[in-house]
Amino acid sequence: MRRKRRVKVVATLGPASSATEMIERLFLAGVDVFRINMSHSSHDTARALQNSIRWVGKRHRHPIGILADLQGPKFRVGEFAGGRVFVNDGAIFRFERTEQPGNSESVFLPHPQIFAAVEPGHTLLLDDGKLRMRVIEKKQGSIAAEVLVGGALSSRKGISLPDTLLPIGPLTEKDRADLSYILKLGIDWIALSFVQRGEDVEEVRKVVGDRAAILAKIEKPSAIADLDAIVAAADGLMVARGDLGVEMPVERVPGLQKQITRKARAAGKPVVVATQMLESMISSPVPTRAEVSDVATAVFDGADAVMLSAESAVGQFPIEAIQMMDRIAIEVEADPGYDSIIHATQTAPQPTGADAIATAAHAIADTVKLSAIVCYTATGSTALRVTRERPNLPIMGLTPVESTARRLSLVWGLHSVMTGDPATLTDMVTKACRIAFDEGFVPPHGGLLITAGVPFGSPGATNMIRIAFVDENGAPSTEIR
């Protein structure tokens, strides 16, 4: 199924969208990748969702990506007597290592890592930033903090530390169990939550290997500080604006979104913009104008994908939310200023053969006014380098590897098709012309640019560029080498 847009749509599955019939409807409405949130999904649920998505993909002969989002390290306060207290502005509040019911002056904090790393002057945020405190004293078994912004605080609410680099690994015991299970299922992308540094991604890579691609979620100040290393280590990035907006001033988030998007694009790695994109559509059939502008901004910035969370997982209008996201993207990409805006920031190609081929492909296709670019790719690398250039025409990724086709479903502008390994260069050109013609990417007498970055059947195919024109039956009529 060919989409009419280049940006991709990611949708989170949940109670409102877990039935196979609903997953199929969401796919037909525009979903390219489905997200399974392991914070709220059991292993049995993950397996059932994976089976449904794969069934839909086979039914429609289209590679659909699956993104499993690991919960990551979560820190929570202990229990309060009565379940809830009120903490006053200006009060001194203590976090204790001793386990006992809390009150309006103190609470049990069951995380020795926090006691080891926090220092006076550090900020503590509770209940998604609704309460704000500043550490004034740290002892062996107690942390004293001044309440800057008070309010009601309930048992087991989350606590975050934006100023503190915590001595923790990227995977909890739950994450390790979840990761082991979903890798056996054959999930395509793993989203790594609360990444602090590039070493976190490298550590997870040792577990994952090449069985899945790793998407690093940028949601902590420490991740911003080590962003270049994270970009280098990960296969893709997510701008997780919810937690990022809790741990950093919200007014900084738009600029950081653009910064992360630019760096990911420069590296040729997909970037997903997420959280509250059409939040009002959880309970409304139409979004606010501000939400529409928010989605449009991500599309104008050249993000690879935009993501829905609660809108599709628990919302009342999941289909309408997907359709709205689809329409916004189509409208933005048809805007007369879209191409100039998306290419306003030019990134110099890296000194590699793959980048040289990708840059040449973009320039040739634009100059000759071809209909599409066709990339033969086994690992996805060639297609990623071509999409990095954000060419002004469709891109097809032809691959004999099903896992590659599914992973590329997250990538901007790329339409993946499964095909057999061509035996010769002639076979490669013939296959590309036939598939592009059948999929509606090239009209009769239209032209294609065909490229391959790895050997397909013949060593001569390596780093190959060909231009081919098709006849009225989709067969190559002319080939330019």
Tens of pLDDT, residues 61-105:
999 999 999 999 989 999 999 999 999 999 999 999 999 999 999
- Report the C-alpha gap between 114 and 105 in whole angstroms: 19
Record the pTM.
0.93
SS3 content of the chain, % helix, strand, coil (to 5): 40, 25, 35
Count of C-beta atoms within a 10 Å radius of residue 107: 25
Amino acid 461: pLDDT: 44
Mean pLDDT (whole number) for 35-41: 96
Nearest residue to 6 via CA among 28, 30, 35: 30
pLDDT score of 60: 96
Q: Do the Cβ atoms of 243 and 159 come closer than 8 Å?
A: no
* Helices 253-267 + 289-300 axis angle, to 10: 30
Please list, in sequence order, all residues whose beta carbon lies within 8 angstroms of the beta carbon of residue 468, skipping any fewer than 6 positions away: 429, 432, 433, 447, 448, 450, 476, 478, 479, 480
Mean pLDDT of 243-249: 91
Confidence grade of residue 361 (pLDDT, cut at 50, 70, 90): confident
The band of 466, judged by pLDDT with boundaries at 50, 70 and 90, is: confident
pLDDT band at 352 (very low <50, low <70, confident <90, very high): low
Residue 197 CA to residue 165 CA, distance in Å, equals 9
For residue 452, name the pLDDT band (cuts at 50, 70, 90): confident
pLDDT tier at 351, thresholds 50, 70, 90: low
Q: Is 252 exposed, middle or buried (0-12, 13-18, 19+ CB in 10 A)?
A: middle
pLDDT for res 423: 81
> Cα torsion at 389, 393, 398, 404 (round to 10°)?
50
Mean pLDDT of all residues belonging to the chain: 93
Residue length, the chain?
Answer: 481
For position 478, what pLDDT does the model report? 74
Residue 479 has pLDDT above 70, yes or no: no
Look at residue 227 in the predicted model and tell me its pLDDT.
Answer: 98
pLDDT at 462 over 60: no
Average pLDDT over residues 313-337: 97
What is the pLDDT averaged over residues 422-433?
88
Please state, as a whole number, how many other Cβ atoms lie within 10 Å of the Cβ of residue 194.
Answer: 25
Q: For residue 49, what are the contacts with CB-CB under 8 A and spacing of at least 6? A: 13, 18, 23, 34, 36, 41, 66
- State percent of the chain over pLDDT 90: 84
- The pLDDT of residue 424 is 83
